[in-house]
């Protein structure tokens, strides 16, 4: 029996892997603080993917764009990739090669991918899917606190609070075991939908605030106004622990709860009641999720939530606080070690000369040879194959033809490349478009570390050998680096060696991992970063001081603004997107698991029955959902509790059922987060292919 953590979300539930009667591995829950001995349906079935019928076990290569992908051997595949990359670099310069990573990669892979881009390829063009995930919260957290660790406290702390406000998070579906920590506090759920979490709150004496999508900034400003008007702000904390309140307050001064009601649709009385609940002397947490963050103003919206938290004196105190619920398995560690365009390991900035000197020293290169910051994820995808843009893309751990906004455009950009290389363990929709596919190991076949939702570093342990013919991502990077002329020892394929190097590269940085060792992890020590060598780890940040030089948190002056695209007579409805319990992300993994695929086989769209009827649609009918960017097919699911002006689609399906055919790639000016949560759409029956089954 091997104990490891789930391959999917940031809760990183602990699990035992053991061979069942048929000899195949099966997952069972293991005791751990975040999951309290539970697993969701995805965790229970996760081991099925190890033996997926279409599991990739041999490299695939196509001779040219019109030829099919055909099996080949590793040397041929890696020689081909390295040869093409070298030729493109020689002809067009290092920035003609781009790298795209993911928040599911271990710390070791994230680190190595960033180093590979900067040292072996010397390209500035690297970014990752975390940009589509929690980047707005990270930007706002850095702005307010001087440091971004999604939860700056252990998750178990929230169970003791009187009130927890969840802004745009639906953990009842996205992290079901997390709900075990939320049974005692009174919940305030901010979600345009009566989500499973909102329904749970209402059933347990909590509140559901259902704003029109894209109006959360006004709601958070209204809550701040209501808090101050009711005398609930903590003036001593504001004076002693923060700066900038006087400059930020005018942004809220006009948002009387009645004015906020007018913009958001949330009754003023509910806004006042929520403000009182947050000021409960028993402590409160404000936690944000993607619903409030994935907007072209997501950074300012999160700042508005943090302003509210600061005005109430919540952050940096035991028993209360602000946090972002990071999403992907290694969404936290994946944003710290250099696969982000503007970043070096240890959460250092790539434009900081001292950071460059330190990391270059560890890498044995000249700091001047490290490229500067490159394009953000969507901007990178959008530049592929365009004049002056990258001509080759190496992709590890993402499926952007399903998960990036405006997929039609992204598919066109990928098609314009000279070379697309995808490392994956299944033939994802993006892998099937590649020129070279490299088959890699899965979570249960590899060692490494992940950093869960709390900033705690965890050990991933191999439970079974990989199928013959499959290599680890670290082995792939090693093989390519050597072929690109790097010394054989510069890109180790041993996760332990990479962790030690990552520790040295991160030492002294904001996310210091120099004290993270396999021995300490195996002893069960709770290694929350910063975890410096020879020092204690940090379960709770900010108790004494925030991370800005003056030790104070900063209010950010923010104003409400409408979504990038508003409704009009041609596109009268708002489509918002998100998740259902039984599928994960682009669905590349969960759509291949029989039990999960059978339960939710096709895309659906949640619609109020009156809105459906006005568009000629009944429950169960196939609908066409159209935006200015594209069309998707989905089966109508009546929701009598839905807003009349809003429909909801999960984004886990591909092709003509991809929600991202609709979405707007308008970007947040600070985080470069796309506006996944608001598109203007219309509905009509999909008569030719439609009908109820």
| Least CB distance to ligand MGD at residue 534 (A) | 31
Residue 129 binds ligand MGD, judged by CB under 6 A: yes
Residue 596 binds ligand MGD, judged by CB under 6 A: no
Out of 251, 321, 323, 327, which residue is the one contacting Mo ion (CB under 5 A)?
Answer: 327
End-to-end Cα spacing for the chain? 43
* Binding partner selected for residue 13 from Mo ion, ligand MGD, ligand SF4, none, CB under the kind-specific 5 to 8 Å limit: ligand SF4
* Binding partner selected for residue 413 from Mo ion, ligand MGD, ligand SF4, none, CB under the kind-specific 5 to 8 Å limit: none
C-alpha dihedral over 319, 321, 324, 330, to 10 degrees? -50
Segment near ligand SF4 (CB under 6 A); pick from 33-41, 149-157, 369-377, 646-654:
33-41
Residues 163-222 that bind ligand SF4 (CB under 6 A): 175-177
Q: Which two tokens stand for residue 263?
A: 């913009």
Residues 6+ apart with CB under 8 A from 554: 143, 144, 242, 243, 244, 548
Residue 12 binds ligand SF4, judged by CB under 6 A: yes
Q: What is the DSSP letter of 471?
A: B
Nearer to Mo ion, 334 or 479 (CB): 334
| Least CB distance to ligand MGD at residue 367 (A) | 29
* Binding partner selected for residue 12 from ligand SF4, ligand MGD, Mo ion, none, CB under the kind-specific 5 to 8 Å limit: ligand SF4
Q: Is the peptide bond before 530 cis (omega within 30 degrees of 0)?
A: yes
Segment near ligand MGD (CB under 6 A); pick from 68-76, 163-171, 261-269, 522-530:
163-171
Cβ(629)–Cβ(663) below 8 Å: yes
Question: What gap in Å lies between CA 627 and CA 568, rounded to an integer?
Answer: 11
**Which residue spans within 371-462 are E strands per DSSP?**
392-396, 419-424, 436-439, 448-451, 457-460
Residue 444 binds ligand SF4, judged by CB under 6 A: no
* Binding partner selected for residue 176 from ligand SF4, ligand MGD, Mo ion, none, CB under the kind-specific 5 to 8 Å limit: ligand SF4
Question: What gap in Å lies between CA 356 and CA 366, rounded to an integer?
Answer: 9
Question: What gap in Å lies between CA 676 and CA 311, rounded to an integer?
Answer: 29
| Least CB distance to ligand SF4 at residue 451 (A) | 13
Residues 621-680 that bind ligand SF4 (CB under 6 A): none
Three-class SS of 291-311? HHHCCCCHHHHHHHHHHHHHH
What would the x/- binding string for ligand SF4 be over residues 34 to 53, using CB under 6 A? Answer: -x---xx-xx----------
Q: What is the DSSP string of 31-73?
A: --TTTTT---HHHHTGGGGGG-TT---S-EE-SSTTSPPEE--
Cβ(106)–Cβ(114) below 8 Å: no
Residues 636-655 that bind ligand MGD (CB under 6 A): 648, 651
284 phi/psi in degrees, rounded to 5 = -145, 150
Tell me whether strands 646-650 and 631-638 are parallel, antiparallel or unpaired: unpaired
Three-class SS of 202-259? HHCCCEEECCCCCCHHHHHHHHHHHHHHCCCCCHHHHHHHEECHHHHHHHHHCCCHHH
Q: Which of 166, 172, 174, 171 is nearest to 191 (CA)?
A: 166
Question: What gap in Å lies between CA 580 and CA 574, rounded to an integer?
Answer: 19
- Alpha helices (H) along 583-642: 594-599, 609-614
Residue 247 CA, distance from chain mean position? 31
Q: How many CA atoms lie within 13 A of 324 on its CB side?
A: 33
Residue 324 binds Mo ion, judged by CB under 5 A: no
| Least CB distance to ligand SF4 at residue 43 (A) | 2
Question: What gap in Å lies between CA 367 and CA 353, rounded to an integer?
Answer: 8
Tell me whether strands 392-396 and 97-101 are parallel, antiparallel or unpaired: parallel
Question: What gap in Å lies between CA 277 and CA 185, rounded to an integer?
Answer: 10
Segment near ligand MGD (CB under 6 A); pick from 363-371, 452-460, 521-529, 658-666:
658-666
Out of 127, 191, 406, 626, which residue is the one contacting ligand MGD (CB under 6 A)?
Answer: 191
Segment near ligand MGD (CB under 6 A); pick from 28-36, 152-160, 188-196, 629-637:
188-196
* Binding partner selected for residue 35 from Mo ion, ligand SF4, ligand MGD, none, CB under the kind-specific 5 to 8 Å limit: ligand SF4
Out of 213, 283, 389, 439, which residue is the one contacting ligand MGD (CB under 6 A)?
Answer: 213
Out of 10, 13, 133, 362, which residue is the one contacting Mo ion (CB under 5 A)?
Answer: 133
What would the x/- binding string for ligand MGD be over residues 1 to 30, using CB under 6 A? Answer: --------x---------------------
Nearer to Mo ion, 264 or 288 (CB): 288
By rule CB under 6 A, what count of residues binds ligand MGD?
Answer: 64
Q: Which two tokens stand for residue 366?
A: 């000249």
By rule CB under 6 A, what count of residues binds ligand SF4?
Answer: 14
Question: What gap in Å lies between CA 310 and CA 473, rounded to an integer?
Answer: 42
* Binding partner selected for residue 225 from ligand SF4, ligand MGD, Mo ion, none, CB under the kind-specific 5 to 8 Å limit: none
Q: Which of 325, 282, 316 is nearest to 176 (CA)?
A: 325
| Least CB distance to ligand MGD at residue 273 (A) | 17
Residues 307-366 that bind ligand MGD (CB under 6 A): 327-328
Beta partners for residue 419, in sequence order: 392
Cβ(101)–Cβ(462) below 8 Å: no
What would the x/- binding string for ligand SF4 be over residues 128 to 167, using CB under 6 A? Answer: ----------------------------------------
- Residue number of the CB atom closest to ligand SF4: 43
Q: Which residues of this protein are in contact with Mo ion, per CB under 5 A?
A: 133, 327-328
Q: Which residues of this protein are in contact with ligand MGD, per CB under 6 A?
A: 9, 102-105, 129, 132-133, 167-171, 173-175, 190-193, 195, 211, 213-214, 216, 289-292, 294, 327-328, 396-400, 402-403, 423-426, 428, 440, 473, 576-579, 581, 583-586, 588-589, 648, 651, 659-660, 663, 676-677
Q: Which residues of this protein are in contact with ligand SF4, per CB under 6 A?
A: 6, 8-9, 11-13, 35, 39-40, 42-43, 175-177
């Amino acid at each position: 029996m091997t104990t490891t953590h789930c391959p999917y979300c940031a809760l990183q539930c602990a699990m035992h892997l053991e061979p069942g009667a048929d000899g195949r591995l099966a997952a069972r829950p293991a005791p751990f603080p975040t999951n309290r001995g539970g697993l969701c349906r995805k965790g229970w079935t996760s081991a099925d993917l190890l033996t997926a019928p279409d599991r990739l076990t041999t490299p695939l290569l196509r001779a040219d764009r019109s030829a099919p992908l055909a099996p080949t051997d590793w040397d041929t595949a890696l020689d081909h990739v390295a040869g093409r990359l070298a030729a493109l670099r020689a002809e067009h310069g290092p920035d003609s090669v781009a790298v795209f990573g993911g928040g599911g990669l271990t710390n070791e892979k994230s680190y190595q991918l960033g180093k590979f881009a900067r040292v072996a390829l010397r390209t500035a063009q690297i970014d990752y899917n975390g940009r589509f995930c929690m980047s707005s919260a990270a930007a706002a957290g850095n702005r307010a606190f001087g440091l971004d660790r999604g939860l700056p406290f252990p998750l178990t702390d929230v169970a003791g609070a009187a009130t927890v406000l969840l802004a745009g998070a639906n953990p009842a579906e996205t992290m079901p075991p997390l709900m075990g920590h939320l049974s005692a506090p009174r919940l305030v759920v901010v979600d345009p939908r009566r989500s499973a979490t909102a329904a749970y709150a209402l059933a347990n004496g909590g509140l559901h605030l259902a704003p029109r999508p894209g109006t959360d900034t006004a709601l958070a400003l209204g809550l701040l106004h209501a808090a101050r008007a009711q005398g609930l702000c903590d003036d001593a904390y504001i004076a002693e622990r923060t700066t900038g309140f006087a400059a930020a307050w005018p942004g809220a001064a006009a948002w009387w709860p009645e004015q906020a009601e007018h913009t958001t649709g949330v009754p003023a009385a509910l806004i006042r009641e929520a403000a009182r609940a947050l000021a409960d002397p028993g402590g409160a947490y404000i936690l944000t999720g993607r619903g409030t963050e994935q907007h072209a103003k997501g950074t300012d919206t999160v700042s508005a939530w943090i302003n509210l938290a600061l005005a109430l004196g919540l952050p940096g105190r035991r028993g209360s606080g602000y946090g972002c619920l990071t999403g992907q398995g290694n969404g936290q560690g994946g944003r710290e070690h250099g696969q982000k365009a503007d970043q070096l390991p240890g959460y250092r900035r790539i434009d900081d000369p001292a950071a460059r000197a330190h990391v270059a020293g560890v890498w044995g290169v000249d700091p001047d040879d490290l490229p500067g910051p490159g394009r953000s994820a969507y901007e990178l995808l959008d530049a592929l194959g365009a004049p002056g843009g990258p001509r080759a893309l190496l992709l590890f751990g993402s499926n952007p033809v399903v998960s990036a906004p405006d997929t039609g455009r992204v598919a066109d950009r990928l098609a314009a490349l000279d070379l697309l290389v995808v490392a994956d363990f299944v033939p994802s929709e993006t892998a099937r478009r590649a020129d070279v596919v490299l088959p890699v190991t899965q979570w249960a076949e590899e060692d490494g570390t992940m950093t869960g939702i709390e900033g705690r570093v965890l050990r991933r342990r191999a439970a079974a050998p990989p199928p013959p013919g499959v290599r680890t991502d670290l082995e792939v990077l090693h093989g390519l680096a050597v072929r690109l002329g790097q010394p054989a020892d510069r890109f180790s394929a041993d996760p332990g060696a990479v962790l030690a190097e990552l520790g040295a590269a991160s030492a002294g940085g904001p996310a210091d991992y120099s004290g993270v060792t396999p021995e300490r992890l195996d002893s069960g020590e709770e290694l929350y970063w910063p975890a410096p060598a020879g020092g204690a780890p940090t379960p709770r940040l900010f108790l004494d001081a925030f991370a800005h030089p003056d030790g104070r948190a900063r209010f950010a002056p923010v104003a409400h603004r409408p979504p990038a695209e508003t409704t009009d007579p041609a596109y009268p409805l708002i489509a918002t997107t998100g998740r259902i319990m039984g599928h994960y992300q682009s669905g590349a993994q969960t759509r291949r698991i029989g039990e999960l695929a059978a339960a939710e086989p096709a895309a659906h769209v949640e619609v109020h029955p009156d809105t459906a009827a006005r568009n000629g649609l009944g429950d169960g009918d196939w609908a066409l959902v159209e935006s200015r960017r594209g069309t998707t097919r989905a089966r109508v699911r009546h929701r009598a509790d839905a807003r009349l002006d809003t429909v909801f689609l999960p984004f886990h399906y591909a092709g003509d059922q991809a929600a991202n055919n609709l979405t707007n790639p308008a970007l947040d000016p600070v985080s470069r987060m796309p506006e996944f949560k608001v598109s203007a759409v219309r509905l009509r029956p999909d008569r030719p292919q439609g009908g109820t089954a």
